[in-house]
Structure 1
Amino acid sequence: MFVADNTLPLPLPLLRTRQRCSEAFRRLKRSDRREALRQFEKRFGRTPSLKAPRTWSEKLTCLKLDADRPIFRDLADKLAVRDFVAQRLGQQHLIPLLASNPVLTRDMFEALPEQFVIKGNHGSAMNRIVTDKSALSFDELKRQTDGWLSRNFYMGSRETQYRNIAPQLVVEQLMLDDGGNIPADYKFHCFNSAEQSHCIIQVDSDRFNGHCRDYFTTDWQRLPLKVKYANSSASRLPTRPDNLEALIECAKNLSQGFAYVRVDLYSLQGQVYFGEMTFTPGSGFERFEPSHFDEQWGEYFDLEHQLSLHTREDLERARLAQL
């Protein structure tokens, strides 16, 4: 049996290649840090504390600069995450997958039904809801999806979990309620630490016509918090879903082992469906009104635990330790 002698020096060409790669990676990390700081300062008018982060925004900035790890990369990938969800919750909570491919082909397009949702797996804001395929040409959708696939989402705000995701197109069944409407989107901000857990529910309503955003506790008390979009008026306030407990249970199950993650879920005819998992919402640039919620969420967020995760095995050990 051959046993490598690790005491032998590396050949000079290989050593030089390794040194060049190492230096290139260090330059990239320095570039990421400078750009993230510049964007944070532009957004908030102050320099974030990355050595001793206190607010949620500061901690998300720290996380996104150090999130190019297998576990964060796998779960930020909108295709790869499906395996994790099936393992944790079961296949019944996944929206049916119609197709996935590195590029849109004519055969793929022609095989799709009249209604579907198509998106890129490697970032955010790369999706299209198709309600009538007959009104859409292959060439139009091809141009749009090629644009998504050519985009390196990580470069926008240096969310490093997206840096090495291989771009693919994901096509899912379009889920509509009895009225033909897209169901409500429930986003669960889940915080877990050794001492306690917190869950804050974000509800985005009328996303395509007068977008409103509201935040609730797990017993459906609205919080006096505004982020990016106006709160709903009293007459349009989102109602408590009948299956709220089931939604919360699914979110907690998926978030076990993580110090923080946002779990997006849909409720349709009493069934819970998975949307996505997000580790750095808004890239840490969302402005809280009033600002003390940024500090409160920062208190909930055990960043050191989050940065200790490297693999799914690490995550599973952390999850089992909480049971």
Structure 2
Amino acid sequence: MRLKKRFALSLRNNLRFIPDEVYMRMCFKAKLHYDPDFEHPRTFNEKLQWSKLHYHNPELARLADKYTVRSFVEGCIGSEYLVPLYGTYASVDEIELDSLPEKFVLKCTHDSQSTFVCTDRTEFDFEDAKKRLAVALRRNWYWQGREWAYKDITPRVIAEAYLDEPGRETPTDYKFYCFDGKVALVQTDADRFTAHEMQYFTPSWEQRGDINHEVSDHKPTEKPENYELMLELAEKLAAGIPHVRVDLYNIAGRPYFGEMTFYTGGGYDPFYAEEERPDRLDCELGELFVLQKQNT
């Protein structure tokens, strides 16, 4: 993680004295350059902020936790879609490098920034990874964007299998934007830690060329093998939830579960589209997002 980003995370963690709604309005205006309407939200990002404040379904914490969600996935679609797990650790001191294979992934279960990929143990800076993971374990991700689902997650580190996709340094991530159990948009992220390629597609795999935000100009991502199965799995996992983004991988035609995200981009993603209508996708997704109030 870059020094600038680490500094920003630490700064936000020290702004706990600012009330949630005030903090969220400040971040929203700084990122998207307009004042949000939390009372009558219209856009996707406004509704994500509203959900942070009002949709407090206790199940969200289990599903946002990268460890506890595994039991949900196993019961919903089957354990064959889970990435093999090598270990779960409450402290970085419990991680033994010699017990792990040549290639593996270390990640925190309670945030979205602490992932370390090892493709060669002889070249992997294990001590640096441990130091950064130790810092992350002391941080409550909730305070970064006031994302309610993360507030009470128990911090842990997990070691998972490295998914090897030929021709890629890291496997392509397929992100399914689901609303009440139906996929409305698919985002692909390839080589996200190096030459990041981001593209958007309709559920029928037609490229959304009207979206300009951070989208690469590379040739369109090929439709993955067993794509229809991936759609089916994403919608099963998203059933009964007003909105969730289900992330999957596809290795040699076999889907693997990545994670479930309830606040894409923290609710501050510009989703810029055509010049004459820069908020087009933000509004489009907002129309699909039917809000439900639920407090614990």
For Structure 1 versus Structure 2, the TM-score category normalised by the shorter chain is: 0.7 to 0.9
Checking the alignment, whether the CA contact within 8 Å between 2:246 and 2:259 is kept in structure 1 is: yes
The residue identity in structure 2 corresponding to 1:220 is: W
How far, CA to CA, are the matches of 2:55 and 2:89 in structure 1?
Answer: 25
Moved more, 245-254 or 221-230: 221-230
Q: Aligned pair in 2 of structure 1 residues 69, 227: CA closer, same or farther (>3 Å)? A: farther
The answer on 1:250 being equivalent to 2:233 is yes
Superposed CA deviations along residues 256-304 of structure 1, whole A, max 9, x for unmatched, are 0011100000001111100000000101100022211111100000112
In 2 relative to 1, CA 90–58 (structure 1 residues): closer, same or farther, beyond 3 Å?
A: same
Match of residue 281 from structure 1: 264
Stretch moving more, 212-221 or 258-267: 212-221
What residue is the counterpart of 2:208 in the other structure?
Answer: 223
2:254 is the alignment partner of 1:261: no
Question: Which consecutive residues of structure 1, in runs of 5 or more, have no partner in the other structure?
Answer: 1-27, 311-323
The runs of 5 or more residues in structure 2 that have no matched partner are 1-15, 274-278
RMSD (Å), alpha carbons: 2.1
CA distance in 1, matches of 2:180, 2:85: 31
Moved more, 202-211 or 283-292: 202-211
Q: Which amino acid aligns with 2:217?
A: S
Q: What do the CA deviations read for 1:30-67 (whole angstroms, capped 9, x no partner)?
A: 71111001111111222211111111010001112345
User: Counterparts of 1:242 and 1:206 in 2: how far apart (Å)?
Assistant: 19
Identity %: 34
Measured against aligned partners, the alpha-carbon deviations of 1:179-223 in whole angstroms (never above 9, x if no partner) come to 574322100001128xxx442111112323321211111211111
Q: Output the TM-score relative to the length of structure 1.
A: 0.80
User: Counterparts in 2 of 1:78-89, with a 5 A limit?
Assistant: 78-89=66-77
Q: TM-score normalized by structure 2? A: 0.87
Q: Is 1:160 aligned to 2:145, yes or no?
A: no
Q: Spell out, residue by residue over 1:134-175, the C-alpha distance to the aligned partner (whole angstroms, 9 max, x if none).
A: 223543232121011112211111112111111000110101
* Map of 1:200 onto structure 2: 185
Partner Cα distance (1:110, 1:68) in 2: 41
SS in 2 for 1:226: coil
Structure-1 separation of matches of 2:212 and 2:180: 22
CA contact (8 A) 2:170 2:192 kept: no
Q: Shift of residue 107 of structure 1?
A: 5.7
Between Structure 1 and Structure 2, the one with more helix by share is: 1
How is 1:40-189 mapped onto 2 (pairs within 5 angstroms)?
40-105=28-93, 108-179=96-167, 181-189=169-177
Contact 2:168 2:190 in 1 (8 A): no
Equivalents in 2 of 1:178, 1:133: separation in Å? Answer: 19
* Cα pair 1:198 1:300 within 8 Å, conserved: no
Relative to structure 1, the CA distance from residue 66 to residue 103 in structure 2 (aligned partners, 3 Å threshold; closer, same or farther) is farther
2: CA distance, partners of 1:191 / 1:29: 33
Q: Which residue of 2 aligns with 1:9?
A: none
1:105-124 CA-to-partner distances (Å, cap 9, x unmatched) read 26633311121000000010
Highest CA radius of gyration, 1 or 2?
Answer: 1
